[in-house]
């Protein structure tokens, strides 16, 4: 397939892409920590605050409109994940959503019940379940195979039993880029009647999601990783929503559907931003849908365009990430992490340098207007298992659809210079 992605057209939609530091354009390789935001999202947020700012159900135009705003965000998020709008919940972050779910589910648990997390998890999807140890729940952790940098499925199967109540699993690692075959884990968990919770926060920025296909009971993602505002979106199967007695104000208007999951007044301006982040992805898809006719069979409307948009993003990002990994591997003293080439992975490139601490490297990047991250990114156990905690974790560069080949070249040339000792007196 000859796929031509118009990155300049994408960049024009992101005001941050025209920013410079000391005359150098900023290379936004910090996407796994949060992406930049297109005009469409910014305009929706400010537009709401200027024109429609009101709490819901007031007997005036903006007050009457507020519920429609929430409904439109729910519909957009449902199209993004492939579910019903009533199965979508919002809160301020995925961590908040996961704690909220854990606390509410724990009303069903008794001492000795078992919860399974994994060594590759972001703390978002492990700490809430660990917190239930105080109720006598037993938390088991699936091993990360540090050779393949993938989860050990056999270890997972050996931990499953009739006592397993929850399996919390990561779809894509924000620290290693590893993509896990969550469907296989979910099938196995369901054989024992466990509830499955998928952390798709990193995955959702790079590939289309179909919650019905993987058949998970719950899934977490955060729109600020895919061009939207700082919020968390949770998918909850209708049966789970119906079954649980959620902590909330129990007012008449929040007793039904995913509203039961939300605490307090909805963040209307952010909901406008989420809706438009989804519409932005769909607008990319509209342009590139013809490239993915086979993958889009059976889909229509906005859902079809969202899937096409995410496939276009993936098709653009993957070869750039490959070029970056290959270039880094050619530099002496550089170690690139993540699963073997050809194994499923996100375009998040993680590496260390033998002679230089990750914090030192990202400070040099920062001085060259290259935005990147270093450390463990709250995937503490994965970085520990890799034996990298003591040396400051890893350096992380993540691709987004507004990143360019020139960004990659700048990174490679900077790493070459660092490796050649040109920055040895940096910061002195």
Residues that bind ligand PLP (CB under 6 A): 93-95, 122, 124, 174, 199, 201-202, 222, 232
Nearest approach in angstroms of CB 59 to ligand PLP is 35
Nearest approach in angstroms of CB 232 to ligand PLP is 5
Residue nearer to ligand PLP on the CB measure, 217 or 291: 217
Nearest approach in angstroms of CB 33 to ligand PLP is 6
Nearest approach in angstroms of CB 179 to ligand PLP is 12
Nearest approach in angstroms of CB 124 to ligand PLP is 3
Contacts (Cβ under 8 Å, ≥6 apart) of 390? none
Nearest approach in angstroms of CB 307 to ligand PLP is 21
Residue nearer to ligand PLP on the CB measure, 94 or 196: 94
User: If we measure between CA atoms, which residue out of 54, 132, 142 comes closest to residue 98?
Assistant: 132
Nearest approach in angstroms of CB 123 to ligand PLP is 8
Residue nearer to ligand PLP on the CB measure, 95 or 267: 95
Residue nearer to ligand PLP on the CB measure, 348 or 414: 348
CA distance 122 to 135: 22
Residue nearer to ligand PLP on the CB measure, 171 or 292: 171
Residue nearer to ligand PLP on the CB measure, 173 or 279: 173
Nearest approach in angstroms of CB 286 to ligand PLP is 28
Nearest approach in angstroms of CB 419 to ligand PLP is 28
Full 3-state SS string of the chain: CCCCCCHHHHHHCCHHHHCEECCEECEECEHHHCCCCCHHHHHHHHHHHHHCCCCCCCCCHHHHHHHHHHHHHHHHHHHHHCCCHHHEEEECCHHHHHHHHHHHHHHHCCCCCEEEEECCCCHHHCHHHHHHHHHCCEEEEECEECCCCEECHHHHHHHCCCCEEEEEEECECCCCCEECCHHHHHHHHHHCCCEEEEECCCHHHCCCCCHHHHCCCEEEECHHHCCCCCCEEEEECHHHHHHCCCCCCCCHHHCCHHHHHCCCCCCHHHHHHHHHHHHHHHHHHHHHHHHHHHHHCCCCHHHHHHHHHHHHHHHHHHHHHHHHHHHHHCCCCEEEECCCCCCCECCEEEEEECCECHHHHHHHHHHCCEECEEECCCCHHHHHHCCCCCCCCEEEEECCCCCCHHHHHHHHHHHHHHHCCCCCCCCC
Residue nearer to ligand PLP on the CB measure, 203 or 356: 203
Nearest approach in angstroms of CB 22 to ligand PLP is 29
User: If we measure between CA atoms, which residue out of 423, 420, 359 comes closest to residue 391?
Assistant: 359
349 Rama sector, left if φ>0, alpha if ψ -120 to 50, beta otherwise: beta
| CA 304, 305, 310, 316 torsion-angle sign | positive
Residue nearer to ligand PLP on the CB measure, 167 or 419: 167
Residue nearer to ligand PLP on the CB measure, 174 or 270: 174
Nearest approach in angstroms of CB 262 to ligand PLP is 15
Longest dimension (CA), the chain: 68
Residue nearer to ligand PLP on the CB measure, 258 or 415: 258
Measured in whole angstroms, how far is the alpha carbon of residue 45 from the centre of its chain? 21
Residue nearer to ligand PLP on the CB measure, 30 or 70: 30
């Amino acid at each position: 397939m000859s796929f031509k992605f118009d990155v300049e057209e994408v960049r024009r939609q992101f005001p941050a892409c025209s920013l410079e530091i000391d005359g150098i354009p900023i290379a936004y390789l910090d996407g796994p920590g949060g992406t930049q935001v297109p005009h469409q999202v910014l305009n929706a947020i400010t537009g709401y605050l200027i024109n429609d700012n009101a709490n819901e159900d007031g007997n005036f135009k903006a007050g009457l409109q507020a519920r429609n705003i929430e409904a439109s965000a729910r519909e957009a998020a449902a199209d993004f994940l492939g579910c019903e709008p009533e199965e979508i919940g919002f809160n301020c972050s995925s961590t908040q959503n996961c704690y909220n779910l854990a606390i509410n589910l724990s009303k069903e648990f008794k001492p000795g019940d078992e919860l399974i997390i994994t060594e590759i998890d972001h703390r978002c999807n492990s700490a809430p379940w660990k917190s239930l140890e105080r109720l006598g729940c037993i938390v088991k952790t699936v091993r990360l195979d540090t050779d393949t940098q993938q989860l050990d499925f056999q270890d997972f199967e050996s931990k499953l039993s009739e006592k397993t109540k929850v399996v919390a699993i990561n779809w894509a690692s924000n620290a290693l880029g590893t993509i896990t075959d969550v469907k296989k884990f979910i099938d196995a968990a369901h054989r024992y009647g466990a509830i499955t919770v998928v952390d798709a926060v990193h995955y959702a920025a790079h590939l289309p999601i179909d919650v019905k296909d993987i058949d998970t009971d719950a899934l977490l993602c955060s729109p600020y990783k895919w061009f939207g505002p700082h919020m968390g979106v949770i998918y909850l199967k209708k049966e789970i929503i119906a079954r649980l007695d959620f902590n909330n104000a129990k007012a008449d208007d929040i007793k039904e559907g995913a509203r039961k999951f939300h605490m307090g007044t909805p963040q209307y301006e952010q909901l406008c931003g989420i809706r438009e982040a989804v519409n932005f992805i769909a607008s990319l898809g509209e342009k590139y849908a013809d490239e993915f006719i086979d993958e889009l069979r059976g889909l229509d409307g906005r859902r079809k365009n969202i899937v096409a948009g995410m496939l276009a993003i993936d098709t653009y990002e993957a070869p750039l990430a490959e070029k970056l990994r290959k270039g880094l591997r050619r530099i002496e003293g550089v170690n690139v992490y993540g699963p073997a080439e050809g194994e499923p992975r996100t375009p998040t490139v993680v590496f260390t340098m033998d002679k230089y601490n990750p914090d030192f490297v990202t400070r040099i990047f920062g001085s060259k207007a290259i935005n990147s991250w270093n450390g463990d990114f709250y995937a503490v156990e994965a970085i520990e298992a890799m034996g990298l905690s003591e040396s400051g974790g890893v350096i992380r560069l993540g691709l987004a659809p507004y990143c360019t080949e020139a960004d990659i070249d700048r990174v490679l040339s900077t790493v070459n210079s660092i490796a050649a000792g040109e920055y040895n007196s940096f910061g002195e």
